[in-house]
Structure 1
Amino acid sequence: MSKYTFNLPDIGEGIAEAEIVKWHIKVGDVVAEDDQLADVMTDKATVEMEAPVSGKIVAIGGEEGDIIAIGSMLVEIEVEGEVDAEKLEELEASDAVAEASEEAESDVKNDRQDAEIKEAKSSSPANPTARTETEQVADAPVASDSPATENAGQKVLATPAVRKRAADLGVDLGQVKAQGEHIRHSDLDAYLNYGAGQGYRPAGSVQKRDDEVIKVIGMRRKIAQNMADSKRNIPHFSYVDEIDMTELEDMRADLNANRGDRPKLTMLPLMIVAICKSLPEFPMLNAIYDDEAGIVTRHGAVHLGMATQTGQGLMVPVLRNAQDMNVWQLASEIARLAAAARDGTATAKELTGSTLTLTSLGPLGGIATTPVINRPEVAIIGPNKIVERPMIIDGEIHPRKLMNLSISCDHRVVDGYDAASYVQALKHLLETPVLLFAD
């Protein structure tokens, strides 16, 4: 028998550490070569670590949520015989890790206190007349045909605090069902909430859930850190304007009616075309700000981040060179990237490198939003829901499809005038959609 220490390999350029987000094994488990050991997350992606050899797990390098350095022990495996040293070198040098996306969570239930119960057990006075009136009432036997089943016909065990509270509420403790040997405050709460101990929940009531303690790890931790860094370091300001989307909606319907075998268009591809066509005059918005170096990089290409809700939290896959795509190509790429983000197959390259982000709540809509900037970008655009409302045009009332458009900007590098001017330019294109297809 010998032991093989599997150290966390270098899983990405420039990566110094990784977070353990999910263990697939525990100490004592027997694993075969290539079995899943753990999911670890770097700043760029979640990767799956596999067993380099077969054997028994004798030690692990940390708990879920721990951050460990590259080169430190991930697991120690007890193997049969001696492991070939040359084989180990090949195993340690290999990059056989598959990308995955899974967030672990641990549920912890609160233990209930028993201190008052011990007091109740030892609080049987020798002189019955010395007992309080509340205690005598609470300990009185209950008839066997009472709705309460647990306490009928026997002494009720409860702490003085519970007895006093019941007396103040006018509750007969003989009617209260105990979950344990003694009636506690939680039992009294259940009696009060569920309709005076009738044994059923009233119509329309919602069952009380236990408290949950969830460790913030993996993707949720990354999101929390990124949002906190963005709000802490960036002086945000937001601007909202109303846009008449009626003509664009009509054009979208016509395009879909004649699309053939091409993908169905949502509003997003058309909006992205408008964003890309209006950005050249406002280069300060398609930019990255390195605040430590004091450098703003204004990008010529539009690498548009698409905020996407997944089971692991909010992810931002990137539409690279969006300015070079037509509406049909954009529709296909949006669908592909969103699916990859949701099923965990998006690569690190597909999740990094955006220069501007578009975030939409889709059918959830909302009247107006103030989205948080995806640092180190300097702006984020948020279309809201389209609502049909009356509008006065040339003195007459017309039904129009209106939408509020939000933009949040980094006030260190973008002025309010620039943001408002850009939205006006974007509004002009969206309200005159034929211009989207004009050279």
Structure 2
Amino acid sequence: MAQVLEFRLPDLGEGLTEAEIVRWLVQVGDVVAVDQPVVEVETAKAMVEVPCPYGGVVTARYGEEGTELPVGAPLLTVAVGAPAEPAAESSGNVLVGYGTSAAPARRRRVRPPRPGARPTDGEPSEGRRTAEPATARQVPAAQPPVSASPPRTRRPAVPERPDGPVPVISPLVRRLARQNGLDLRRLTGSGPDGLILRADVEGALRTTAAHEEAPKTTVTAPAPQTALLERPEPRAGTRIPLKGVRGAVADKLSRSRREIPDATCWVDADATELMRARAAMNAAGGPKISLLALLARICTAALARFPELNATVDTEAREIVRLDQVHLGFAAQTERGLVVPVVRDAHSRDAESLTAEFARLTEAARAGTLTPADLTGGTFTLNNYGVFGVDGSTPIINHPEAAMLGVGRVVPKPWVHDGELAVRQVVQLSLTFDHRVCDGGTAGGFLRYVADCVEQPAVLLRTL
């Protein structure tokens, strides 16, 4: 007799706790092989194809395209062939959160849904939306993944939950508790099997508000308790959720503004000689050299002279950590929003290697195939906002880095050259830096060196 194994959304690493279903790659009834990708999801880092560690027939899917699921939520169920040899039907460690051990011999209970719920090709029942660790549960083939049995009776109240995952109906409930400083382990849920619902959290918040108001007045005033959870009337207009890549960017930029005391300095530079040098390189044959690659080469040379800016701040230890390697991030605009791919070991690459890596990462960003590793670990960021036709900007530092160099468009402008007024190719350079890692003198020295290399590329020969 076949077994039905439940595959849950695995831990995708990098501290990610949820993902949005972008596209299902299989249908109910399809036969899947071990490690075959079954769904494409978008996390806060990148688009990821999730492989299933079981081979068999898909019997149910949970979640429509566009649904956001927490890690540990059911994705699909698969009917596998031989129950006596489950290890032969499972894969190795494909992603974080997968296991290679055989399924447990003891059947685990299936949490029943609310009355009338049944598995569909879309959204799972609320009773099954829990953020438990990503494990596979065995369900007999004769029994559907979710039955329509009535909910269980409420468990007795307990003062505190032991260590382990807290069963919460959705990430929104967890967020509401976190924003109000409520410990979910001290609650007993009113849902099936003690599942914590939004009503449980709101009730606990009303009780807390009542206790806080009691010493201040002798009259019970329900209005302040209700106001704690009341929301203002939504404004008319189009509402766009801050989730996925755009949500991650919003969170990172907000954190940068909260934590980093930044300052910005800028300078205009005559880029005529740099543009001529690039034209000469490309005329000599071989792979074409991009302007961004030359600017990146200048950045790595400047960071070798001013290592204070290739650093991060450990706020808990109250220490500045200067980094030995330069992993250079660069801003790339995509249809899904702004992303910052990272060129590893940029300090050890020449202009040709940098050009090729920029092209590869840019193409992957536009195609939505960047991996979490491509988007993390940067130590310094280069932002070429000149491609948008603007001259200057004050960039926001890419937390937890310490600085970002911004480059405007290169345009013909009147310029005094060799004592005479001439039309030259001028670019504005701006440096935003964390004032905790260095003072204005260091930042100014870095920016001036970059400008000197732009105006006289031969200055780079000293560091080659």
With the shorter chain as reference, the TM-score category is 0.5 to 0.7
Secondary structure at 1:284 match in 2 = helix
1:228 lines up with 2:270 in the alignment? no
- What is the CA–CA distance in structure 1 between the aligned matches of 2:39 and 2:384, rounded to whole Å? 33
1:350 maps to amino acid: D
Q: CA shift at 1:395, angstroms? A: 4.8
* Aligned 1:18-417 pairs, distance under 5 A: 18-24=18-24, 29-34=28-33, 36-42=37-43, 44-51=45-52, 52-58=54-60, 60=62, 64=66, 66-69=68-71, 72-77=72-77, 79=79, 84=83, 86-87=85-86, 90-91=89-90, 93-95=92-94, 212-258=238-284, 260=285, 262-393=286-417, 395-417=419-441
Q: What is the deviation of 1:83?
A: 5.2
CA distance in 2, matches of 1:25, 1:281: 50
Supply the distance in 2 between the matched residues of 1:354 and 1:294 (Cα, whole angstroms): 21
For residue 254 of structure 2, give the secondary structure of its aligned residue in structure 1: helix
Q: 1:46 to 1:436 in 2, by over 3 A?
A: same
Q: 1:155-187 deviations in whole A, cap 9, x for unaligned?
A: xxxxxxxxxxxxxxxxxxxxxxxxxxxxxxxxx
- Alpha-carbon separation, structure 1, partners of 2:84 and 2:317: 46
**How far apart, in 2, do the equivalents of 1:56 and 1:24 lie?**
12
Counterpart in the other structure of 2:113: none
Letter in structure 2 aligned against 1:5: E
- Distance across 1 between alignment mates of 2:253 and 2:88: 40
Number of positions where the alignment pairs a residue of Structure 1 with one of Structure 2? 320
Cα-to-partner distance string for 1:359-415 (whole Å, 9 max, x where unaligned): 112432312111111111010111100111112345521111111001111122232
Q: State the 1:305 CA deviation.
A: 0.7
Q: SS of the residue aligned with 1:404? A: strand
Point out where structure 1 has 5 or more consecutive residues left out of the alignment. 98-209
Q: Is the 8 A contact 1:18 1:68 kept in 2?
A: yes
Q: 1:289 offset after TM fit, Å?
A: 1.9
| Alignment-derived partner of residue 6 in structure 2 | 5
Please say if 1:433 is aligned against 2:433. Answer: no
Residue 326 to residue 58, structure 1, CA distance change in 2 (3 Å): closer
Per-residue Cα deviation, 1:277-323 (whole angstroms, up to 9, x for no partner): 22223111011222233232212222111211223222222222222
Following superposition, the deviation at residue 61 of structure 1 comes to 6.4
Given that 2:406 and 2:431 are in contact with CA atoms closer than 8 Å, whether structure 1 keeps it comes out as yes
CA distance in 1, matches of 2:352, 2:314: 34
Cα distance, 1:419–1:337 mapped onto 2, change above 3 Å? same
Q: Alpha-carbon deviations, 1:133-153, whole Å to 9, x = none?
A: xxxxxxxxxxxxxxxxxxxxx
Q: Is the 8 A contact 1:61 1:75 kept in 2?
A: yes
RMSD of aligned Cα (Å)? 3.0
Change (3 A) 1:280 1:94: closer
3-state secondary structure, aligned to 2:309: coil
The whole-number CA distance in structure 1 between the counterparts of 2:82 and 2:252 is 43
Determine the C-alpha separation between the residues in 1 that align with 2:350 and 2:331. Answer: 20
Counterpart CA distance in 2 for 1:266 and 1:16 is 34
Contiguous gaps of at least 5 residues in structure 2: 97-235
Q: 1:387 to 1:48 in 2, by over 3 A?
A: same
d(CA) in 1 for partners of 2:254 and 2:352?
36
Give 1:189's aligned residue: none
Q: CA deviation at 1:20?
A: 2.8
Q: How far off is 1:23 after superposition?
A: 4.8
Q: Secondary structure at the match of 1:374?
A: coil
Cα deviations by residue, 1:83-113 (Å, 9 ceiling, x for unpaired): 535336752644179xxxxxxxxxxxxxxxx
TM-score normalized by the length of structure 2:
0.62
- For 2:267, the aligned partner's letter is D
Cα 1:8/1:432, change in 2 over 3 Å: same
Counterparts in 2 of 1:283 and 1:90: CA distance versus 1, 3 Å: farther
Amino acid across the alignment from 1:294: R
Q: What fraction of aligned residue pairs are identical, expressed as a percent?
A: 33
TM-score by length of 1: 0.65
